[in-house]
Structure 1
């Protein structure tokens, strides 16, 4: 049930965008045991002069104009170890599958309780 929003620059063609989405979903399946058919992704492309900005260097990590932001909203309850496994898997898969430099993968996990989710028909299907 994670919702993934990927922000990327103008130089990503459709194939690279799909590989990037697949890389994040593969990492979610591996680290969070997300089923293959549980994929909800949105992509936002940003062109030169638009609102995707990243500092050239932060915490000793250099970023390029090819940086991508990956924001994942998911249910709480996973251990720190599983979250770290997810972050590492996203970076590894994005590098291998979408040719994104590891330094350019910026990830943010947002936890939202299950009663805040609806998958259609105005129902909170996962609420306890």
Structure 2
């Protein structure tokens, strides 16, 4: 299961945050095949002045709106799965009014032995046959 940190600026309603998290989760289910009941989310809110993302880089022209910054920690995924997740997230979040130019995503890979979801057990080592997790 990935650990997703959603970094937003202050001011979103609880309803909007809930909808955002559910959309991100649905994208992970669709692109990576994680279980419907999987995923762990941390939501950080920052003052606009604390989110300093370059507005013009790599040919991307970001708006004056606050960016959405996603940090995803995950067991290893293929390059193709990562690219698919980027595409699906941009597509689905754009439907919510988040410009794809204002979406910043970073994936930090870990090894399967780096995770314990509770009970002091490395569950992903027990689930070697299922590479979706």
- TM-score normalized by structure 2? 0.86
In the alignment, which residue of structure 2 is the partner of 1:83? 82
Task: State the Cα distance separating 1:58 from its structure 2 match.
Answer: 0.9
Task: Flag structure 1 segments of 5+ consecutive residues without an equivalent.
Answer: none
Q: Match of 1:120, SS? A: coil
In the alignment, which residue of structure 2 is the partner of 1:72? 72
Task: State the Cα distance separating 1:92 from its structure 2 match.
Answer: 1.2
Count the aligned residue pairs. Answer: 125
- TM-score normalized by structure 1? 0.89
C-alpha distance in 2 between matches for 1:104 and 1:69: 8
User: Is 1:56–2:60 an aligned residue pair?
Assistant: no
Task: Flag structure 2 segments of 5+ consecutive residues without an equivalent.
Answer: 127-133
Q: CA RMSD in A?
A: 1.4
Instruction: Check the 8 A contact 1:9/1:65 in 2, yes or no.
Output: no
Q: Match of 1:20, SS? A: helix
User: Is 1:119–2:117 an aligned residue pair?
Assistant: yes
Task: State the Cα distance separating 1:27 from its structure 2 match.
Answer: 1.1
C-alpha distance in 2 between matches for 1:126 and 1:14: 32
Q: Once superposed, which parts of structure 1, at least 4 consecutive aligned residues long, lie more than 4 Å away?
A: none
